[in-house]
Structure 1
Amino acid sequence: MNEILNKLLELKDDKYKLFISKLVPTVNIDNFIGIRANGIRSIVKQYIHSDYAKDFLNDLPHKYYEENILHAAFLSQEKDNFDRAVEGCERFFPYIDNWAVCDTLSPEVFAKNPEKLLEKVKEWIRASTWVSRFALNMLMRFFLEDNFSPEIIKIALEADTGEYYVDMGLAWFLSYALVHKYEETLPYIESRKLPKSVQKKTIQKAVDSFRISEERKTYLKTLR
């Protein structure tokens, strides 16, 4: 058993295991250890620059949900090498099996390379469920403010909808787009051409936001 897995097992919390397993239903309960977020963060801080982390990242597949969360967290620490970050993500993609791991993954270096990232997002957006959701996450995190163009929404809409976690990822993206780029996003909601589940969830998330005016919320409710 490797050093990092030993450390994870030392942090086992059976009550938290029951709690988190209910939030991540696509993972069997036997594949949870039960570790709180601060425990994962402490391991990242302790091991990120060690050979143990390098060995851990090369040791796929992992058994436990928390190992995959940690893997995503380690990859997200990449600050300098874009190509290495992409390689790490693409090597890890086949082993992502839940929304929490998918949404944890976000290499810091991507923020410094929006043009190169966008080209990769165009490849990922129509891929498998979790890769497509990851691509939507990248559009939401890095392209709705400084790097925005009308193309961004069109790329997001290329996601292969019809799968629950992709649909929810797209709704999440569109609700953020309504916050940051309301005028540019609204026509897509008004057209009512989105899948019904995406339309409904987008509006729900927008209405729940503190960053959208009451006037706009009232209008969005008419588009449900």
Structure 2
Amino acid sequence: MTSAQILDWLGAHADPEYSAFAAALLPGVSDVLGVRLPALRALARKLATEGAQETLNALPATPFEARMLHGLVIGYAEVDFAQRWAWIDSFLPLIDNWSVCDSFCATLAAQWSDAERTVAWPRVRDCSQSESPFVVRFGVVMMIDAYMRPESIDGVLSALTSVHCDAYYARMAVAWALATALGDFPIQTRRFLEAQEIDPWVRRKAAQKAAESRCVSHEDKQWARTWAKG
């Protein structure tokens, strides 16, 4: 599809009422048409098989749904590691909101093989240490989606506690990741966090996320509340 054809498709599938709802969840994002994610995923799968590189070349930077499509096509395309990461590197500067970031991460993680996950870890970790808020969030959310595993949890915790970007969406991702780690690996996570100096704001938000999670035990929720108080 050409850029014009993609924009025509997006316009034809836009829902003004859904646009208002979605935009309210995305502060600072003003170009939401209101195309629902399942429809975008279906189109992205089709475009990824018909010609991923051509699609990525054709996709405009706006509207919001075009950026969402960009990430989804990268995730669904069947390409080698080097090509996928070349696309990822080009796409990361375009991410300007949590929705595109988190949907991109979920799609990538679902498609990765164990081998790709292993090879990608140094790059994911490096992203988490960036100064760019949504590059950091990409790295951290990829840890949630792909690296909450016994063989990688120690590296994840170490990376999370060394994130130095203080932007809201980066710090919230860290808090979310710490709460997820507490639910999945409570013993290792509690032991690790008790030995670390964690930003008080992140501690409080992590405890809040833990309290809201069905995956965190009552005992660990109580521990998190105490830990959050410092």
TM-score by length of 1: 0.90
Deviation at 1:160, TM superposition (A): 2.0
Give me the whole-angstrom Cα distance separating, in 1, the residues matched to 2:168 and 2:192.
20
Which of these residues, 166, 183, 208, is aligned with residue 212 of structure 2? 208
Which of these residues, 10, 32, 37, is aligned with residue 8 of structure 1? 10
Deviation at 1:166, TM superposition (A): 0.6
Instruction: Note the aligned Cα RMSD (angstroms).
Output: 2.0
Q: 1:147 to 1:82 in 2, by over 3 A?
A: farther
Deviation string 1:146-200 (CA, Å, 9 cap, x unpaired) is 4324222111222223110110010111111101111111135435721122101
1:115 corresponds to 2:118: yes
The question of whether the paired residues in 2 share the 8 Å contact of 1:111 and 1:142 is answered with no
* Consecutive aligned runs of 4 or more in structure 1 exceeding 4 Å deviation: none
Percent pairwise identity: 25
Counterpart in 2 of 1:58? 57
Q: 1:166 to 1:18 in 2, by over 3 A?
A: same
1:183 corresponds to 2:182: no
Deviation string 1:117-154 (CA, Å, 9 cap, x unpaired) is 11112321222111111111121222211432422211
Deviation string 1:38-88 (CA, Å, 9 cap, x unpaired) is 22122123332124x533312465110000111111111134511111111
Give me the whole-angstrom Cα distance separating, in 2, the residues matched to 1:63 and 1:167.
26
Q: Which residue identity does 2:147 align to in structure 1? A: F
Counterpart in 2 of 1:171? 175
Deviation string 1:12-58 (CA, Å, 9 cap, x unpaired) is 11111111011011312xx111111122122123332124x533312
Q: 1:158 to 1:215 in 2, by over 3 A?
A: closer
Give me the whole-angstrom Cα distance separating, in 1, the residues matched to 2:81 and 2:151.
17
Q: Secondary structure at the match of 1:201?
A: helix
Q: Which residue identity does 1:47 align to in structure 2? A: L
The question of whether the paired residues in 2 share the 8 Å contact of 1:172 and 1:205 is answered with yes
TM-score by length of 2: 0.87
The question of whether the paired residues in 2 share the 8 Å contact of 1:75 and 1:88 is answered with yes
The question of whether the paired residues in 2 share the 8 Å contact of 1:33 and 1:64 is answered with yes
Which of these residues, 131, 135, 151, is aligned with residue 147 of structure 1? 151
